[in-house]
């Protein structure tokens, strides 16, 4: 088993900020918009270095999405930044009509996604955003796993034409993807080869999947781990190739079981390769206040939950 080591825990949102800093220097068409959350989104450097290309919108997310759509007319590449809840559900119709249906090159960048937002509670812990965004025709949906991958995804998005949703989070988590790993939108990354079960994970659950694979190995179970950073378009080929070997699959995500990665994978299985699947996801509920670790344990989104799901799905083969 290839070892991925934590090179120093960092928050994924800081990866976004670092990506924006680099983009600011190398692409003069990149502009940033923020709805009163500069510090939370790590926009400080971009704002300082490129004040003319930074737009403080105030607490007005609908207006922010519309202004971003308008900025594309004239060749700008807008990156909007606020919490995931206010980036999606709050402004769904603005994204639907002014961005997606109008095919505008807007990058909707969303921090504080999922339960790991922590103490602020369910009003801010959106668990439905992947579903909302993946249902929009033409929308690319990306959920990154660590600092390095978030930085790489941010930079890659500037060269991708079309509307996109980039989802990341608040907590400090292991940073384990190589800094020089190329980020190819829609191309899954095989992290660990295995033969007994496929674990397809996205976002913060990717590290948990690696920890789970080690625990499974100690139990004599060989787990293949795939890092699915792009939920749409989904790398069906990578999933099916792995499934041909393992014949069963676990999906893991910090999202509602309805509408997330798991359901996208189920569709692939139903169409091409019916096989047992277990879901590590929030079971159709809202979140609540607590520390990220407490919440991930209570809602069964950690490595132990992945191990349990893997053992269960293998029995169903």
Shortest Å, Cβ 132 to other proteins: 16
Q: Which member of 9, 22, 37, 70 binds other proteins (CB under 8 A)?
A: 70
- β-bridge partners, 111: 83
Q: Is 82 in the site for other proteins (CB under 8 A)?
A: no
CA separation, residue 95 to residues 67, 72, 100, 134 (Å): 11, 14, 6, 12
Q: Is 57 in the site for other proteins (CB under 8 A)?
A: yes
Shortest Å, Cβ 55 to other proteins: 7
CB 146 within 8 A of CB 176: yes
Q: Is 140 in the site for other proteins (CB under 8 A)?
A: no
Q: Is 94 in the site for other proteins (CB under 8 A)?
A: yes
| Among 71-79, 108-116, 273-281, 300-308, the segment contacting other proteins (CB under 8 A) | 71-79
CA distance 109 to 164: 8
CA distance 53 to 28: 9
Q: Which member of 74, 182, 220, 315 binds other proteins (CB under 8 A)?
A: 74
**Nearest CB to other proteins, comparing residues 96 and 312:** 96
**Nearest CB to other proteins, comparing residues 68 and 313:** 68
Q: Is residue 215 classed as helix, strand or coil in its secondary structure? A: helix
| Among 66-74, 170-178, 236-244, 295-303, the segment contacting other proteins (CB under 8 A) | 66-74
**Nearest CB to other proteins, comparing residues 59 and 270:** 59
Shortest Å, Cβ 81 to other proteins: 15
Question: Which of left, alpha, beta for 172 (phi over 0: left; psi -120 to 50: alpha)?
Answer: beta
* Angle, vertex CA 135, rays to CA 190 and CA 59, nearest 5: 100
CA distance 32 to 47: 8
**Nearest CB to other proteins, comparing residues 55 and 176:** 55
Q: Is 75 in the site for other proteins (CB under 8 A)?
A: yes
CA distance 139 to 91: 15
Footprint on residues 236-255 left by other proteins (CB under 8 A): none
Q: Which member of 47, 96, 245, 300 binds other proteins (CB under 8 A)?
A: 96
Closest alpha carbon to 70 in 44, 31, 109: 31
Footprint on residues 3-32 left by other proteins (CB under 8 A): 31
Footprint on residues 103-132 left by other proteins (CB under 8 A): 103-104
Q: Is 162 in the site for other proteins (CB under 8 A)?
A: no
Going by C-beta distance under 8 Å and a sequence separation of 6 or more, which residues neighbour residue 269? 243, 249, 275, 277
Q: Is 37 in the site for other proteins (CB under 8 A)?
A: no
Bridge pairing between strands 77-83 and 223-227? unpaired
| Among 91-99, 114-122, 155-163, 244-252, the segment contacting other proteins (CB under 8 A) | 91-99
Across the beta sheet with 189-192, what order do the strands follow? 189-192, 223-227, 197-201, 249-256, 277-282
* Residues with catalytic roles: 61
CA distance 171 to 89: 22
Q: Which member of 34, 69, 282, 309 binds other proteins (CB under 8 A)?
A: 69
Catalog residues that contact other proteins under the rule CB under 8 A: 31, 52-53, 55, 57-58, 60, 62-76, 78, 93-94, 96-98, 101-104
């Amino acid at each position: 088993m290839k070892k991925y080591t934590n090179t120093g825990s960092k928050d994924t949102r800081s990866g976004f900020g670092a990506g924006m800093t680099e983009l600011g220097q190398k692409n003069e068409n990149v502009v940033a918009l923020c709805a009163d959350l500069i510090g939370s989104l790590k926009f400080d450097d971009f704002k300082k270095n490129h004040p003319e290309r930074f737009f403080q919108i105030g607490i007005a997310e609908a207006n922010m999405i519309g202004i971003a759509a308008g900025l594309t007319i004239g060749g700008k590449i807008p990156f909007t930044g606020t919490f995931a809840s206010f980036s999606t559900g709050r402004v769904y119709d603005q994204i639907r009509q002014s961005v997606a249906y109008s095919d505008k090159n807007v990058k909707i960048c969303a921090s504080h996604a999922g339960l790991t937002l922590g103490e602020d509670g369910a009003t801010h812990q959106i668990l439905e955003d992947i579903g909302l965004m993946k249902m929009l025709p033409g929308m690319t949906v990306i959920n990154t796993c660590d600092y390095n991958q978030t930085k790489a995804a941010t930079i890659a998005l500037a060269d991708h034409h079309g509307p996109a949703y980039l989802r990341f989070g608040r907590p400090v988590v292991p940073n384990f993807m190589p800094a020089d790993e190329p980020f190819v939108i829609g191309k899954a990354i095989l992290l660990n080869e295995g033969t007994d079960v496929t674990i397809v994970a996205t976002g913060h659950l990717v590290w948990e999947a690696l920890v789970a694979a080690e625990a499974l190995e100690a139990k004599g179970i060989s787990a293949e781990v795939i890092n699915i950073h792009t939920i749409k378009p989904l790398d069906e080929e990578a999933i099916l190739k792995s499934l041909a070997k393992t014949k069963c699959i676990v999906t893991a995500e910090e999202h509602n079981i309805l509408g997330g990665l798991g359901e996208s994978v189920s569709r692939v299985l139903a169409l091409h390769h019916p096989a047992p699947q277990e879901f590590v996801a929030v079971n159709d509920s809202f979140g609540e206040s607590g520390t990220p670790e407490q919440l991930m344990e209570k809602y069964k989104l950690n490595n132990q939950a992945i191990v349990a799901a893997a053992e269960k799905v293998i029995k169903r083969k």
